[in-house]
Every structure is written in structure tokens, then in C-alpha cells.
Chains A and B, each alone.
Chain A
Amino acid sequence: MQNMNLYSRGDKLFVRINIFLLTLFALSTLYPFIYIAAVSFSSGSAVTAGDVIYRPIDLTLAAYKYVWNESQFWVSYMNTFIYTVFGTIVSLLIIIPGAYALSRPQLIGRRFFNLFVAFTLWFNAGLIPFFLNMRDLGLLDSYFGIIIGFACNAFNVILLRNFFEGIPQSFEEAARMDGANDFQVLWKVYIPLSKPAIATVALFCIVSRWNGFFWAMILLRDEGKIPLQVFLRQTIVSLTSDEEFGSTLLEAAYSYETVTAAIIVASIIPVLFIYPFLQKYFNKGILLGGVKE
């Protein structure tokens, strides 16, 4: 924007009010995180007494120590890593070649296959048939079921296909004249040219894997296989099912509140770690996946 001195008095006021309101909004977005972090570092008694507002009271790592010694936490954390890493790899192995094939003009039935993919955006069978299908396939309570069953979705395929379609035809033609086959065109030309789009799709996969809980909750019975989010939910449920919402653990060092908060913080940290990438690519991804004629 232009030099502030050029603004009229009305404009200056407008700009200031605007900045004030936005800052307020941003702070209210940030506040819950600050609060949770503060709770996680506070003593259980301070939280129960209602002393924690925005900073830790009786600074302590008790809640984290509790979580650290909770074996289920580590098992779940490990599982989440497994689901995220392998899930994302499997997703990319299916989506990238498929999206490439769908973007080829020479593919016979291209319209049909694109419709075949897009149709699932508009109509899906719903929770029950999907669950029964997973059951029929013998994918209940298995790592493989979680990894393969959620490997793909139409949105990611279409996003990448659109990107591939936007790559000038001449790149492929030049490679073809140089003697490249489809595998080589995909591997040596399209994938290197599509790094931002592929990164976007990969990040979509990573985030949805990291955060996914619903189907893991439904499909997994074995505590040894549940991901972090399901573990977190169990912890929270045991908190909410307590009518008083109060602490049943009366040791002062930690309480359910501080323990839950500590698990929340621990599960957010990896997200914060990749957040700079997320911001960079999701911006693009939203636009890539946007309206297409």
C-alpha cells in the first residue's frame, strides 16, 4: 500500500480500526493454544482452583512426566507416525501415476475415467456400507486396512491431474522425441516439474493422516494399533464422562486437565514443525484445486 502520509484522516482512522479488529481476531485464535500450553505446564491444583488464565502457574513438568511414563502414549505416537508415513507413501504411489494417466489426451475413455473419479465427490455410499466393506475385505483392526483404505480421494486426484494438464504439452513431446516412454516422461519430466503440486498433495495426506481419528476409532479395537488422536479422545472422554468435569486424580502435581493439555501440546508440535511448509503449499493447493472450467 501507499505511503501512510497520503491517507486522509478518515482513511487513517479506518486503517487503525481495521488493524485493531484483526489483531483482536488473531489473538482470540491464538488464545486457546496459549491457554492449553499454560495449563499443560501448570500444577493440577492451580488449574482446578481456576488460577490459570494465560500463563503457567506453579510451573511444573508433572503432566509431561505423567505422559512420558504412559506407555500407551508412546505406542499411539508411534502408530500415528506409521500411519502418516506409510499412508502418505501409498497415497502418492496411487495418486501420482493415476493422475498422470488421467491427464493424457491419448487415454481412451479419458472422459469416462475422469467422471468415474469425480462421481465419488458427488455421491458416496456413506458410513455403513464403507464399514461393512472394510469388514468384508478383512481390513478391520489392521494397520494395512487404515493405510490402504484411506489412500485416495477424488479431490487429491483431480488437484494433481489439473496440475499435470497445465504443464505445456511440449515438455512431454520433447521428451518423447528424445525417446522417452510414459514411465520416463512421468518420472523424469512430470514429477520434477510438479514438485509444488505433489508437495501439496503429500501435505494434504500427511495432515489428514496425522489428524484422522474417526475411522481409526471405528476400525481399530486393538489398543496397540490406535493412533494418537484416538488415544487423546479416550483421555478426553474419560474426562467428560465424569459428571463433575473435575479432577478425580487429586494429586496436586497433575490432573486430567493438565495431562490432556500435555498430550494436546505433544500432538500439535509436529504440526507446528511442518507448518511453514503447510502454509506455503496449501496456499497454492487451494488455488490449484480451485474452480476449473
Chain B
Amino acid sequence: MSQVVLEKIVKRYAEVDVVHGIDLTVDSKEFVVLVGPSGCGKSTTLRMIAGLEEISDGTLSIGDRVVNDVAPKDRDVAMVFQNYALYPHLNVAENIAFGLRIRKVDKAEITRSVNEVAEILGLTNYLERKPADLSGGQRQRVAMGRAIVRHPEVFLFDEPLSNLDAQLRTQMRAEIKRLHSRLGVTSIYVTHDQVEAMTLADRIVVMSAGRIEQIGTPMELFMNPVNRFVAGFIGSPPMNQVKATIADGADGSVARISDTVSIPLSRAEGLAAANGQSVIVGIRPEDVLLEASGGEPSVPLDVNLIEPLGSEALIHASVGGEPFVIKTPTHGDISHLNDIKQFHVDVSRVKIFDEKSGSALYQADKAVG
């Protein structure tokens, strides 16, 4: 299987750059997810890899070959489209066979390949059906079958699950992952859904406004976001981000949110910040303890609203006048949550970001993830 290497890839429409020089190496057999809000350039990047968009600048190699000027059909890549692009006038078998027929593959060979792929995807009983008679999940599988059947070097996925309902999406997510581990084909997957990115990826590439914000394993991104954007994008509900000023406290540095409310910082984070610096304090909703387990500092809060989710509940509150969300286990009872007057912080989990640049002030060793 092949490596895909993007070097300083640029996409320009009428003199305006929409992708600004992307560098990315996708290793052989790796599953990389490009994630970001709509318009961040992730789909454009994928389409450049596919050969559906011209590359304005930079070099793209698949395997050992520079493919900038190679036609899509000769790049040995296959793509699963958001709307599946299943031909409504062909049945499942014909849809899967379409690419092989165009390539004039031998008839018996086509039948064999189609049957094999149908077997892998559990479509054997549906080969005669037209796409209109399939469920969403089955269509999704046919779309994947069309990609698999050609044994390409690289799979490209363009938001393939976004047309499915939530339950099916979870199921298909697992199926894609299983398929990848079975076939071991280098895969590049575009989505705007961070949960999909987290669950599928070997590595995630977070993009925004045509640039890469951060590349890393899901846990790296979760634990050590390099900036406020990544911190806000990965994790649900998003990390609380509260304005504060660094000051000296009793046990080292604290981030002062208001005259009465301060959040203590870990030693490492504290050392990275200068006294008096304006910062953003980042605390994940689930990194908050309602009952102190031993010596954690406490922060006062005002509860505004409780949203029970079942096993967990979201507490919408304000801390020092700023909105703040807490996610806490309910253990079957939420009656007490309204009375909460303070919470405790796991100091080791608090992140601080520079207010101006938005960058994380302290980067933990990458090995942490």
C-alpha cells in the first residue's frame, strides 16, 4: 500500500488562496481524518488528492510517483462520495462493476470480484436491486463496494456518513473501521463531525480557513490541543474557555477570572505563563469534580440550568460572570444538582491559552497521549 505525501499544496481560485500550502504525510495503511468546519478546505484538499481539482501549487505524491498532472483514473485511488453517486439506472452488481467494465476487465473476473466484494459487505442478497430499493446503510455499502472492488492504493472518503441518521452513522462508522483493519488500505477521510474523526482516525488533521491547525492522534488532540480552535473543536460539549489574568496565588500561579474567583494552575502550566498576562483558561466540562476527592481547590459557581442526559447531566452555570458548562454523572438522581454552589478542578487538566494568539502556552510531551 502507498504513502500519500502533500508538500506545500495550494489551491487558488481566481487569485484567492483557499488552501494555503498544506504539508501532510499519510503513511501506508494509515487512516487519516481531515476534520474542520465547513469551508475550511478539507474537501478541496481531498479532491486535489483525487485529481478532481487541479493543484495550484505544491507537490502531491502517491507511492513514489508525483501525480499532480496524472488523470484521476490513473492515480489508483478510489473515492466514496457524500451522496454516494450510485447510478440509479444500474443495479447493485452493475454499480459495483461499473469501474471494472469501463476498464474492460474480463467478464468472469468482474463477476468474481463483485461477488467477493458483496460477500465482504454483506450485499450478496441485494445484487439485483436498484439503489432506490436499498436502505441508506445499504447504499452506503454499495458506494464502498464500488471503491473496494478496484483494489486501489488509496481510499478517499468525502463525508460518507453525513446523509445517514444518527443510529446508522454509529453502525457504519464501526463498519468502516472494521473494513479498514481488514483491507489495510491507506485511507483519507473527510468529515466535519469530530466524533467520527475521533473514533475512526489513526491520526486526525484539524483544519481551519485553509490551514492545518494540528495533526495528531485523537488522544493527543484531546489532551493537548495546540490552540483554542482545536480545543473548541475536539470534545463535546466543547472545552470551557474563560478569560483570566495570571496572578500569584498561595500555591503557585493562579488564573484570576474575577476579584473573587481564581483557578489554580498546575506547576508546568503556571511556569509557562507570565505574571499579569491575559489568558484564556480552558477546562473540559468533564474535568470538573463536584465532590472533592482530596485537596482540589474549589471554585464558586451559580447554576442556571440542568440538562439531564440520562447517565450524565449538563450543568449550565456561570463562573465569575462567564458561561461555564459542567458534565457530571447523575447516578440516577439530579435533584441535588441545583444546589451546587462550588466545584473542584483537577489542576492537572487545566489548559491556558494566550488571549491574543490563541496558542496553548504549555505543550505537554507528545508521549502523554
Contact = CB atoms under 8 A, between A and B. Distances in A.
Contacts of B79: 173-174, 177
Nearest to A168: B83
B112 interface: no
B127 to A, nearest CB: 18
Given A168-B83, A174-B81, 16 more contacts: A170-B82, A170-B83, A173-B81, A173-B85, A174-B146, A175-B98, A175-B102, A176-B72, A176-B73, A178-B103, A178-B146, A178-B150, A184-B102, A188-B102, A192-B87, A193-B89
Interface residues of A, number: 17
B85 A170 contact: yes
Interface residues of B, number: 23
Interface string A103-115: 0000000000000
B99 interface: yes
Nearest to A172: B85
A177 B87 contact: no
A171 interface: yes
Contacts of B52: 173, 176-177
Contacts of A170: 81-83, 85
A148 interface: no
A219 interface: no
Interface of A: 168, 170-171, 173-180, 184, 188-189, 192-193, 195
Contacts of A178: 73, 98-99, 102-103, 146, 150
B161 to A, nearest CB: 15
A183 to B, nearest CB: 11
Contacts of A179: 73, 99, 102-103
Contacts of B77: 177
Given A174-B81, A174-B146, A193 B73 contact: no
A175 B82 CA distance: 15
Nearest to A106: B54
Contacts, number: 57
Contacts of B88: 193
9 contacts: A168-B85, A173-B52, A173-B79, A173-B85, A174-B79, A176-B71, A177-B77, A178-B102, A192-B89
Given A170-B85, A171-B85, A192-B87, A177 B102 contact: no
A192 B102 CA distance: 16
B78 interface: yes
Nearest to A177: B72
Interface in B161-185: none
A173 B103 CA distance: 16
Contacts of B83: 168, 170
Contacts of A168: 83, 85
A173 B43 CA distance: 14
A195 B81 CA distance: 23
Nearest to B156: A177
B11 to A, nearest CB: 15
Nearest to B99: A178
A177 B154 CA distance: 12
B322 to A, nearest CB: 44
Contacts of B102: 175, 178-180, 184, 188
A175 B79 CA distance: 10
A171 B90 CA distance: 13
Contacts of B81: 170, 173-174
Interface string B69-106: 00111000111011101011110000000110011000
